[in-house]
Chains A and B, each alone.
Chain A
Amino acid sequence: MTVDTTHPRSIPSADWVTIPDLYADPYPIYRHLRAESPIHWVPAVDRYLVIGYEACHTIELDQERFTADETNSLMKRSMGHSMLRKDDPEHDVERKAYGGVLRPKAIKQQWTRVFEQSFSTYLGRLREAGPGADLVTEFAAPFAAENLRVIMGFENATQEDLQRWSQTLIDGTGNYADDPDVWAAAERSSHEVDVAIDEMLPILRDRPNGSLLSALGASGMPLEPLRANFKMTIGGGLNEPRDAIATTAWALLSHPTQLASVVADGRWSDAFEESIRWVAPISMYPREATRDTELCGLHIPQGARLGIAIGAANRDPDVFVDAESYDIDRPRKPHLAFGGGNHFCAGAWVARASVVNVALPGLFRELPGLRLDPDRSARCGGWVFRGVTSLPVLWD
């Protein structure tokens, strides 16, 4: 698989890229970078940014050359050493311990009614807030958080706790500025999660209930990786469905012809998959080169810190026609929003079931005339995680 040619080109440097510009809108930057090379050294983020589809896809399938177990990982500091930062076979053992909890059978038997209950609760909250409400804070965030709380088995926490834990642990993972307040908040949440796990474990051992904590407690996974995997799941299991709901709703409300087609033919899955291609909720994740190697004709030095920018890969014009546009009718190609290979998102089916089957059709069914608020426009942000952060909406 590895072709080591004798004259790989060196990787160009992009000194002009800044974090604030990436946060505001990374896509013009990726278009500019793409014209020159699929990989760039970006000093502002202290990484080689991999933006080409082929390059990203090759890396995620090759843990021998590109390890997930990154040196000096901020995620390890914030959340502990979870399976997301391990390679197989160590990763595989922990992944298998998740068992069937997040798979379609359990979703059908156990979680769909949880999603429906959460939908009813937070649709009520949105209605109470009234037209002009922010769809993210009044609906998408608490809906995603409550579903995650129940699936994980936190009977001793609230959806607000889950939201706070998720955000502060993720902030730690992205704390490149080494802000002591960010670390303090992450450590506080980390401790709270440990306490909540310690309290629930014996309860669920006596009364198994199909939740993730119940399954992990029975799996024999030692406490330290259990805690780390739980924090990773709190981080990854909340923002992504939240952002997918908000971004898809925003995309559909901005493209009325496509919305009409989705509503008429129940094409919620098409709307969702195109949305996470267009704006991948997890847009960048790290890998590290285990040795001097070559990718796309470029030389990558051993120890290189890589940023796998799947948000950019998902708009690679070599793969997707008119890639910058939201288009539910585009020719179907596999996007990379759930990652690929052994780290393929464990929550993919939960996301599809809760967002595609429940949240999106429910919102457009229950809120006739749902539309963007002409006076207050939606806000988007992020490049590591990206989504619609505020979405004021009106309805009849």
Chain B
Amino acid sequence: MPKVIFHHDNGETDVVESPDGTSVMKVALQNAVAGIVGECGGQAMCATCHVYVRDGYLDRLPEISEDEEEMLECTAASRDETHSRLGCQVVLGPDLEEVEVDVPGSQI
């Protein structure tokens, strides 16, 4: 099964397996991973599922849509031009069997 590796500020790591079609935000919420809020349920509307995607996975992600782009300008932790994405827009599947992300210190 595909998996997401969440790295936290305090050095701890969560490794969570989840079926194809699940977003990084949903993986976090369904498994009580700390630091991901996901207020809007995945509409690219709230900017509270911000993650920094690690090198090595970036070229497998979809393009940043206009909605995601404007939300990335509204994140609580500062945006990283290369690595910042919304967890709700990063979806596990055949093109993304594994992804490793850093969870920001703040979402609100």
Contacts and interface: CB of A to CB of B under 8 A. Distances in A.
A337 B67 CA distance: 23
Interface in A215-249: none
B46 interface: yes
Contacts of B13: none
A197 to B, nearest CB: 25
B47 to A, nearest CB: 9
Given A334-B48, A340-B41, A104 B29 contact: no
A196 to B, nearest CB: 28
A344 B70 contact: no
Contacts, number: 44
Interface string A326-361: 000000111000101110101011000000000000
A95 interface: yes
Contacts of A349: 74
Interface string B67-108: 100110110000000000000000000000000000000111
A207 interface: no
A341 B106 contact: no
Interface string A87-123: 0000000010000100111000000000000000000
B62 to A, nearest CB: 18
Nearest to A92: B43
Interface residues of B, number: 19
A341 B25 CA distance: 12
B39 interface: yes
A61 B29 CA distance: 10
A95 B40 CA distance: 12
Interface in B17-75: 29-30, 37, 39-41, 43, 45-46, 48, 66-67, 70-71, 73-74
Contact of A348 (B37, B46, B70, B108): B46
B107 to A, nearest CB: 8
B70 A340 contact: no
B46 A344 contact: yes
Given A104-B74, A105-B70, A338 B39 contact: yes
A334 B39 contact: yes
A103 B67 contact: yes
Contact of B41 (A1, A105, A342, A346): A342
Interface of B: 29-30, 37, 39-41, 43, 45-46, 48, 66-67, 70-71, 73-74, 106-108
Pairs A-B, 3 closest by C-beta atoms: A344-B40, A341-B41, A342-B41
Interface of A: 1, 61, 95, 100, 103-105, 273, 332-334, 338, 340-342, 344, 346, 348-349
